[in-house]
Structure 1
Amino acid sequence: MQVRVFYHDKCFDGACSASLFARFHRECVAAGATYEYHGLVHRAGALFDEAQFTGDENAIVDFKYSASPHITWWFDHHLSAFLTPEDHQNFLACQQDPACSQRKFFDPHYTSCTSFLAHIGETKFGFDTKPVAELIHWADIVDGALYESPEAAVEMAEPAMKLTLIIESTQDPEFIPRLIPLLTEMPLAEVLAQPFVAELLPPLMERHKAALELIRERSESKDGVIFFDITDHPLEGFNKFIPYYLHPEAVYSIGLSKSSFRTKVAVGTNPWTKKDGATLVNLAEICERYGGGGHARVGAISFPPDQEDAARVAAEEIVAELRARGNN
């Protein structure tokens, strides 16, 4: 059996989810299966290419729902999991079918897709999660921003943080598919020590330091909201906790950046804010107005690379709204 696993690309939780799914599937569903890994990214326009769903089974993890009849497994935990109301209705209809409902799972209450997948695998299929406890632990910390401090998030002492930096920055389309199987085969420190991984780290750490200084120069914190525009310095990724490291008093951060395939508005909540959680704004709902989405505390909007002006308008509107709310 050939299984094609589609995962949230350039994302630590996405890579961990893909690796965990393959181990779970191999141990609990099809012992002789082979696995291929294909990254999916949030971009303007169509997110899926039906022509790629050619496996005997096709799985999507940590990414939006596809109503394609060729998708046999789906796991996600994002509030904005459905592109359209029709997709949501398709999923709800699936839940009325005993066979389909045992292959497609959604729960936005889980911190990471990895921990959600582990729970489903363990409780419904008897999957042993003890050997992958470290991976599950760090997927929750990274995806849920559960670091003990901004310093821990930005200074990146732990192997999981260094792996996150590499995963979010790589431009090699073969790198993450090569990395994914290792994540459930060895401790994360050993994964990081693999020569094809370790050699990438030093230049990325230097780029991380440069991004920190750039955001320090460009960011403004006002009325509890940080804003920065670095679109004139294209980056494939940067540490999303840098704004809170630089402005710990802020509640929200809006960053406008550009990469090879999109102009991005990143919207986040300071994980260490002292503000009452009940009063925090649901950022997924704000991002959905512009065609984006995410979680209640962090979201993003993707525009085509040539629509920088439209992205800037959206970012400025969100900044104004959040700053106005901060004064009320």
Structure 2
Amino acid sequence: MAKDLVYTIYSHSDADGGIAAALFSKFIYDKYAKYGWNTDIQPVNHVSVQGEWSLREIKWPCAILDFTLHPSLLSNRFFTSKPFLEKQLGQAKKVPDCYWIDHHPTGSSFPFLTENNSAEFIPNVITKWDTNAISTPGLLRTHHHELGFPAKFIKEYEEFIDLAEIIDGALYVSCEAAHDFSSHAVKLQTLFSPGHSAIDKSALYKKLVRQIAKSASVENLFDSDFLYRAIINHEEQNFNKQLRAYKKVTKLEGKVAYANFVGSHYFSGMGRFLPYMLFENANYALHIFPGMNKTSYSLSCGINPWYKPKDSSKHLGNYFAKNFSGGGHAFVAGGKVNEEELVKIEKLLEFLNE
């Protein structure tokens, strides 16, 4: 029976979500391994009401970390699993709680859903949503007392939490620092988002999460596998290719450094801050690049952390959730657009330049 007791951690497939998943994996293991529970890591991407979440069933018990999820995608079986498991396992086997922890504007796409009424729509799930938090590990640090999260974990993983804050909050001191492959933050971000097509990103993500859960040493992580060094070296070389590619397609459209790879043969991966290296006074960077198929494209947009717009009232996450089947934070967001919907890009540029 013990081998069948699996606690699933669904977490956003980036450094922020990965570090949160490692902390939560350690939390669940230390508390429930003695009752036969093991953890399974499942990296996911942001979606709207439909998407990859419509292709799988979310299993109880679990933690949902660092992404927006519509409650309608939780099946009736999900909500009836806890009493069923408690009855089946008896008092000797405790059933862990489910958690939904996020720092994205969870309720913005679904205005009916708030932390105050979450018990009505998602019963038996402990929620903590804090849009003021920079990262999910940072949220765990701020709210660990009310979540019952051990303070010793927070202290032990202080460096990883700080790195998550730097990475997800774009708190690099300069645009150049954001591409300095000798820094821990850049190396960690690189490992969680490798661009090489031969790399199984899901397997790498799970491997990183497991290793972080076992050791809180950032240095030990980088030195634990020769593959990591090879990935970082490759991505540094790829960055130089990206910079050359961005120089060919990036233009300044008002306050927006617009990198348009539609129809381009130069694309070699997205460089989040590269447009600012070309137009340092741009308030926003907008990227459009090839999607998973030939008829759709991926979008990414964010403010310039080193030259922010005077009007910061625009909420990119809400705009992308409404117009591009995506989402994100107030100052950074992503989504998708079909070939016949490219006119939406012009409207987005108008919105950013208002």
State TM-score, norm by structure 1.
Answer: 0.85
Q: TM-score, normalised by structure 2?
A: 0.79
Change (3 A) 1:51 1:4: same
Structure 1 segment 221-300 matched on structure 2, within 5 A? 221-231=252-262, 232-233=264-265, 237-260=269-292, 263-273=297-307, 275-276=309-310, 278-290=311-323, 291-300=325-334
Shift of 1:168: 1.4
Bigger mean CA deviation after superposition, 278-287 or 31-40: 278-287
Q: Deviations over 1:289-322 (max 9, x none)?
A: 313221111111224xxx2342x32222211332
Measure how far apart 1:245 and its partner are: 2.1
User: Could you tell me whether the CA contact under 8 Å between 1:234 and 1:257 is conserved in 2?
Assistant: no
Separation in 2, partners of 1:319, 1:308: 17
In the alignment, which residue of structure 2 is the partner of 1:36?
Answer: 40
1:119 aligns with 2:142: yes
- Match of 1:260, SS? coil
- CA–CA separation in structure 1 for the residues paired with 2:292 and 2:99: 30
Q: Contact 1:264/1:302 (CA < 8 Å) preserved in 2? A: yes
- Which of 1 and 2 has greater Rg? 2
CA contact (8 A) 1:12 1:163 kept: yes
Give secondary structure in 2 for the equivalent of 1:110. coil
Q: Which residue of 2 aligns with 1:319?
A: 349
Secondary structure of residue in 2 paired with 1:263:
strand
Taking a change above 3 Å as real, the CA distance of residues 42 and 94 of structure 1, as seen in their structure-2 partners, is closer
1:192 is the counterpart of 2:217: no
| 1:199 counterpart SS class | helix
Q: Deviations over 1:2-27 (max 9, x none)?
A: 11111112x11111111111122233
CA offsets per residue over residues 82-132 of structure 1, 9 Å max, x none? 65446x26x64334699736x222111100011112333344315121000
204 and 244 in structure 1: CA distance in 2 versus 1, 3 angstrom threshold: same
Superposed, 1:155-234 pairs within 5 Å as 155-169=180-194, 171-172=199-200, 173-184=202-213, 185-193=215-223, 194-231=225-262, 232-233=264-265
Task: Give the AA of the match of 2:245.
Answer: L
Counterpart of 2:58 in structure 1 is 53
Q: Show the counterpart of 1:100.
A: 124
2:260, 2:287 within 8 Å by CA — same for their partners in 1? yes
Alpha-carbon distance in 2 for matches of 1:97, 1:287: 25
SS at match of 2:333: strand
SS of the residue corresponding to residue 53 of structure 1 reads: coil
Give the 3-state SS of the residue equivalent to 1:16 in structure 2.
helix
What is the CA–CA distance in structure 2 between the aligned matches of 1:4 and 1:98, rounded to whole Å?
Answer: 17
* Cα deviation digits, residues 154-209 of structure 1 (max 9, x gap): 23321231221232125403111111122241322221222232222222222121
> Quick check: 1:228–1:256 contact (8 Å CA) kept in 2?
yes
Report the alpha carbon displacement of residue 149 of structure 1 after superposing the two structures with TM: 0.7
Amino acid at match of 1:64: T
Q: Is the 8 A contact 1:65 1:74 kept in 2?
A: no
Aligned position for 2:22: 19
SS of structure 2 residue aligned to 1:181: helix
Q: 1:195 to 1:186 in 2, by over 3 A?
A: farther
Distance 1:97 1:66 in 2: 10
Question: Which stretch shifts more, 91-100 or 214-223?
Answer: 91-100
Corresponding residue of 1:140:
165
SS in 2 for 1:255: strand
Distance 1:175 1:57, change over 3 A: same
1:81–1:48 CA distance, 2 compared to 1 (3 A): farther
**Two-structure CA RMSD over aligned residues (Å):** 2.8
1:235–1:26 distance in 2 versus 1, CA, 3 Å: farther
Partner-residue secondary structure (3-state), 2:189: helix
**1:96, 1:249 → 2: CA distance?**
47
Aligned residues: 314
In structure 1, the residue matched to 2:92 is none
Query: SS of the residue aligned with 2:300?
Result: strand
The aligned amino acid for 2:237 is E
Check whether the contact 2:175–2:277 (CA below 8 A) recurs between aligned residues.
Answer: yes
Assess, with a 3 A threshold, how the Cα gap between structure 1 residues 297 and 317 changes in structure 2: closer, same or farther: same
Deviating beyond 6 angstroms after TM superposition, the runs of 4 or more aligned structure 1 residues are 96-99
Question: Conserved in 2, the CA contact under 8 Å of 1:256 and 1:263?
Answer: yes
**Greater shift after overlay, 210-219 or 127-136?**
210-219
Question: Does the 8 Å CA contact 1:73/1:104 hold for their aligned counterparts?
Answer: yes
Which residue does 2:156 correspond to in 1?
Answer: 131
